[in-house]
Amino acid sequence: MNFASDNIAGAAAPVLDALVKGAGPDAPPALPYGSDPVTARVQAALDALFERETTAFPVATGTAANALALAALCPPYGTVYCHRHAHIEEDECGAPEFFTGGAKLTLIDGPDGKITPAALADTLACAGAGVVHHVQPAAVSLTQATECGTVYTIEELAALSRVAHAYGLPVHLDGARFANAVATLGCTAAEMTWKAGIDVVSFGATKNGCLAAEAVVFFTHRDQATAFGFRRKRAGHLFSKMRTISLQLEAYLADGLWLELARTANARARSLHDGLTACAGIEPVFPLGANVMFLKIPKPVADGLRADGFVFIPRGGEDVYRLVTPFNADPAAIDAMIARAAALTAGRQAAE
């Protein structure tokens, strides 16, 4: 009955199985620091997923993936354009600033957690490129699915990339919930990334059934990808027993597990969302796009639900709560919560 985050879940069974089989005491020795066959297979699997040659770097956390990717793209005197509520701005304790050596984030407002191409164009038009007093435009970072649980359409991504590229800026995609967005859009991983103009993606897996596994995937910027290896090492993000991450990713990518888990999480979110918003007085704040929802819930109702052990957190304004369904969210818990919310709201209506 915990909808606080997708991070509260453990790992999917195939991911754990892979660790047990591939990294136990009797597993064959593996060369450290990524020179092992599992890591090579993950590179191949990512190439297959994205239907092209890529340069991929497994890391363990989303913050590491984002900050290392941005450090590869943005010089210390640069700035990265992102949404005001982007994870890189609000929830990484300054990691992009640390990894870039002191670059800035320039914040852009936009409805539903999304930057519009027009807002990006307006911002870039007065960015002071070439003027020595101003930090220099260096990259655009988009989040898919967004922090608001919404999803950019392919067309929106492509339009944003066109604006960025027109100014010579590469586009980074924070894909902490990459799979959930693909599941929602019904597109391919390629369509949602390089075919839409994305240059580098933080391909997230931790939230969606791994323990600690992400991959930074470069489609372009070969030189920066080379430098990435050194940046990862000196940031302490090159694992000696790299197969620890790679085995997770291999299992996650095999047989469409990544997509299946995301579809399940999304379906659970849809059930929870539709059930709750059918209750009088509970309203969505943003259109549901993945497995994260923000709902306006009357305080007595929210208090009642939380008193009954349903866990979810206030976030984003008065009476607004965030609920997240992980890949293993329990349908029974969802039904129970909806039923309890219905009872609580019905009681309120009767009392009015």
Interaction between residue 207 and its own copies (CB under 8 A)? yes
Smallest gap from Cβ 217 to its own copies, in A, equals 17
Near its own copies in 79-118, by CB under 8 A: 79, 90-95, 97-105
Q: Which listed residue (39, 55, 63, 325) binds its own copies by CB under 8 A?
A: 63
CB contact set of 237 (below 8 Å; sequence gap of 6+): 59, 60, 61, 64, 68
Interaction between residue 208 and its own copies (CB under 8 A)? no
- Distance (Å) of CA 156 to CA 151, 192, 196, 284: 10, 10, 9, 22
With contacts defined by CB under 8 A, name the span among 25-33, 43-51, 272-280, 298-306 that binds its own copies: 25-33
Q: Are 292 and 272 in contact (CB under 8 A)?
A: no
- What 3-state DSSP class applies to 227? helix
Strands (E), 144-291: 171-175, 200-204, 214-218, 283-284
Interaction between residue 68 and its own copies (CB under 8 A)? yes
Number of residues this chain uses to bind its own copies (CB under 8 A): 83
Interaction between residue 222 and its own copies (CB under 8 A)? no
From residue 235 to residue 274, the character string flagging contacts with its own copies as x (rule: CB under 8 A) and all else as - is xxxxxxx-xxx-----------------------------
With contacts defined by CB under 8 A, name the span among 37-45, 55-63, 139-147, 150-158 that binds its own copies: 55-63
Q: What is the dihedral of CA 226, 228, 229, 230, to 10 degrees?
A: 100
Interaction between residue 76 and its own copies (CB under 8 A)? yes
Near its own copies in 285-324, by CB under 8 A: 311
Interaction between residue 153 and its own copies (CB under 8 A)? no
Q: Are 291 and 7 in contact (CB under 8 A)?
A: no
Task: List, in sequence order, every residue forming a beta bridge with 81; answer none if it has no partner.
Answer: 106, 140
CA distance 103 to 82: 13
With contacts defined by CB under 8 A, name the span among 17-25, 276-284, 334-342, 344-352 that binds its own copies: 17-25
Q: Which listed residue (16, 121, 154, 320) binds its own copies by CB under 8 A?
A: 16
